[in-house]
Amino acid sequence: MASLISKSINLQADLGPRLSPSASIALPDDANFANLTSRWREWHAPTIAAVVQVATEGDVQQAVRFANEHGLPFIARSGGHGATEAMASAKDAIQIDFRKLSHVKLSEDGKTAIIGGGATVKGVVEALGKLGKQAVTGVCECVGISAPILGGGHGWLQGQYGLPADQVISARLVLPNGDAVTVSEESHSELFWAIKGAGHNFGLVTEWKYCVYDIKNPKWSYEIFVFSGDKLEVLYELTNEMIKTQPPQVTHWSYIIKVADIDPEHPIIWYAIIYDGPVPEARQYAKPIHSIEAIMVNSGEATIPELAALTFQDENGPGCAKGLTSLRYPIGLKSYNTASIRKVYNEIDETFRRVPELAGSFFLLEGYSTQGVQAIDEASTAFPHRSDEVLVTSYVQYKPDESMDTTAQEFGKKLRDYLLEGSDDPDRLRAYVNYANGDESLEEIYGWEEWRLEKLRKLKKHWDPENRMRYYVPIV
């Protein structure tokens, strides 16, 4: 707001008339401002001078142009789950709020859908589900659809169809100068390449033309196990064997987490096998896991929204809860190194006792299947980590408390270091951009092959010479 006042800008009067009738502007003294700007993580979040709720592509263009004319930073907002260091450098920014751009429209041939840039995972799953269709989306219901796609993305269906970014036929993009273009294989193909993995740096997506598929199984199957920590080695060694022949329909998904009702002393391992297929087949696949003594086993069938709830990623679950300081330190792996995971477990166990404020943290190991992902040439998109089999991150979480920050950061980094030391390439961390803490190097995020960063830098210079889009793991 200070920047608006110091520059004598009256946003309502100066920008308002340039917007469509359905757009709106909110300023800090408006009743809904706090609600509009609240985020999954408030810690190191952008500071917002004003919110422009866009309703058309033209509104996005006007908001971007207006911000540029007045030298104001701007930042897109969809699901509000973005949490990486660079966001904090957006000071007194215009929040270009995409949430009204959430339409989902199926094409006549039923093979693609037009999806608004501000739609959420839940919105897309529900709208397509009503039509018997599904798409490759993230898992967490309240995450925006766009940011995962821009960073490559991960979700249940990736083994069958590829990453979210691989589903894009074309996108309408408002460039950092306010011009709007269509990007696809046929139109600005290099920019199209860039937005599929490094997209937060290049433009604002108003609309995606996105692949959709028939729902094969309205109900998926799941097998959920709870194990005590002493089963860790046998469990992840077995998982290493199983992922060698993991069918495209299967995800291994596990948490190391403290659940006092189950084990008041130590963290437990919550382990799920999620399967796009009938229960007997899931049982057959999960059979080896049943040979390990579990504290609890729960199996059944569930729709995708029910699976989101079962994995704590539904809109009422912990994945969507706002207000905690949350730090993530992602790493991509080829397999589970049980000695490293043991170190992680012991560190978590010890830290939770020593620093009870951090005991609400958890450690997530995502073992999506990868056939669909690896069927696509690694050079054909900006997403650099196609050969990883497992995606791991801690979620170090605590009630906002500055005195905890250093301890929490050291804890999260240490957990990642254990895994890196025991990985296939301990000198070269591979970190998923959408989980990035923000302290990683550009190579770690955007790929170690020299040509990748060179290409991205060249494209950045061409498409965003003023570096206006620099608030989400910036290339420059």
Ligand X SMILES: Cc1cc2nc3c(=O)[nH]c(=O)nc-3n(C[C@H](O)[C@H](O)[C@H](O)COP(=O)(O)OP(=O)(O)OC[C@H]3O[C@@H](n4cnc5c(N)ncnc54)[C@H](O)[C@@H]3O)c2cc1C
DSSP conformation letters of 271-320: EEEEESS-HHHHHHHHHHHHTS--SEEEEEEE-HHHHHHHTT-STTSGGG
Q: Which stretch binds ligand X (CB under 6 A): 143-151, 181-189, 216-224, 238-246?
A: 143-151
437 and 41 Cβ atoms separated by less than 8 Å: no
Nearer to ligand X, 227 or 368 (CB): 368
Of the listed pieces 153-161, 176-184, 279-287, 296-304, which binds ligand X according to CB under 6 A? 153-161
Nearer to ligand X, 146 or 361 (CB): 146
Instruction: Give Cα 143 to chain centroid, integer Å.
Output: 7
Q: How far is the CB of 207 from ligand X (least distance, A)?
A: 9
Angle between helices 232-243 and 279-290 (to 10 degrees): 130
Check residue 332 for interaction with ligand X (CB under 6 A): no
The binder of ligand X chosen from 124, 165, 205, 308 (CB under 6 A): 205
Nearest-approach distance from CB 231 to ligand X, in angstroms: 26
Task: Mention every residue, 6+ apart, whose C-beta is less than 8 A from residue 383.
Answer: 151, 152, 163, 165, 196, 197
Residues 260, 294: Cα–Cα separation, whole Å? 16
Q: How many whole angstroms separate alpha carbon 462 and alpha carbon 204?
A: 16
Say whether residue 331 binds ligand X (CB under 6 A): no
Q: How far is the CB of 39 from ligand X (least distance, A)?
A: 6
Task: Give whichever of 90 and 294 is closer to ligand X, judged by the CB atom.
Answer: 90
Interface with ligand X: number of residues (CB under 6 A):
33
Report the chain's terminal Cα–Cα distance, integer Å.
Answer: 26
b/e per residue 223-254 (b: at least 16 CB within 10 A): bbbbbbbebbeebbebbbebbeebebbbbbbb
Stretch that binds ligand X, among 61-69, 136-144, 378-386, 401-409 (CB under 6 A): 136-144
Give the 3-state secondary structure of residue 359.
Answer: coil
Per CB under 6 A, which of residues 104..123 are in contact with ligand X? Answer: 117-118
Stretch that binds ligand X, among 75-83, 214-222, 369-377, 403-411 (CB under 6 A): 75-83
Taking the least distance from each CB to ligand X, the nearer of 275 and 471 is 471
User: Can you read off the two tokens belonging to residue 74?
Assistant: 């701007």
Of 153, 159, 178, 422, the residue at the interface with ligand X (CB under 6 A) is 153
Q: Which residues in this chain contact ligand X in the complex, by CB under 6 A?
A: 40, 75-83, 98, 117-118, 138-140, 143-144, 146-148, 150, 153-155, 200, 204-205, 319, 434-435, 471-472
